[in-house]
Amino acid sequence: MFFRVPVLMQFLFKRRIWRGKDSSAVYLTFDDGPDKDTTPWVLDLLKKENIKATFFCIGQNIENNPSLFRDIIKNGHAIGNHTFNHEKGTDTKRTTYINSVNKTEALYSSELFRPPYGRMNMFQVSKLISMGKKIIMWTWNAQDYKKSREHAQIIDKAKIIQGRDILLFHNSKKSAENMKKSLPEVIKIVKQKQLLFKLLD
């Protein structure tokens, strides 16, 4: 698994959005929340650092943590749809997948959509685009969910971050240890590069 997504992959799947528009900025994103053990910590850190981020939320987690979900919005962060049950598109029938997206859409309407695992088939892609969704991918993946990944490696790989990158972290129990140890340092490195943090739109 690459920290930086190869340019060839971005070219092959060009109906998806891989990079932000502003070359003087990066776009910090979090998948899989809201989660009661990690999201409050993330919100506190972002407030302290004066950073806005985009949270791709699972519908079931929104239902389970409604006040936490409201806190994300109250803090001025953007929300994206991440399906209702974190379905992998390539293993899920098109109707089931779109129903999952719509179920989450009913809880909060957003143009932004990120496929769990980054996996979708071309029929799902076409349908979501026809629904007006922007399919948001990433160019730099912290891989904070991997138990085999040392947080020091994540921090070291932050040196390759550049303008327009969409950064992927996770606010979930599985990723908690690596995310909490690496995110503050990654933010520091991005700021040292004099890059801004922007919301996806």
pLDDT digits (tens, 9 = 90+) for 33-88: 999 999 999 999 999 999 999 999 999 999 999 999 999 999 999 999 999 999 99
Query: For the domain that residue 47 is a member of, what is the CATH number?
Result: 3.20.20.370
71 in active site = no
Start-to-end CA distance of the chain, whole Å, equals: 27
**Domain range holding 133?**
7-197
170 in active site = yes
In one-letter notation, the amino acid at residue 103 is K
- DSSP tag of 184: H
Has residue 21 been placed in a domain? yes
Has residue 187 been placed in a domain? yes
HSE of 91 in the Cβ direction (CA atoms, 13 Å)?
A: 7
Reduced to 3 states (helix: H, G, I; strand: E, B; else coil), residue 166 is: strand
Query: Structural domain tally of the chain?
Result: 1
Rounded to an integer, the average pLDDT of 174-191 is: 97
77, 82, 151, 170: which one is catalytic? 170
Reduced to 3 states (helix: H, G, I; strand: E, B; else coil), residue 79 is: strand
Q: What is the rounded distance in angstroms from the CA atom of residue 189 to the CA atom of residue 172?
A: 23
Q: What is the pTM of this model?
A: 0.96
Q: Which element (helix H / strand E) includes 165?
A: none
Cα–chain-centroid distance for residue 138? 8
Torsion angle, alpha carbons of 146, 149, 155, 156, to 10:
-140
31, 32, 35, 144: which one is catalytic? 31
Mind listing the pLDDT tens digit for each residue in 117-173?
999 999 999 999 999 999 999 999 999 999 888 999 999 999 999 999 999 999 999
Has residue 1 been placed in a domain? no
Has residue 2 been placed in a domain? no
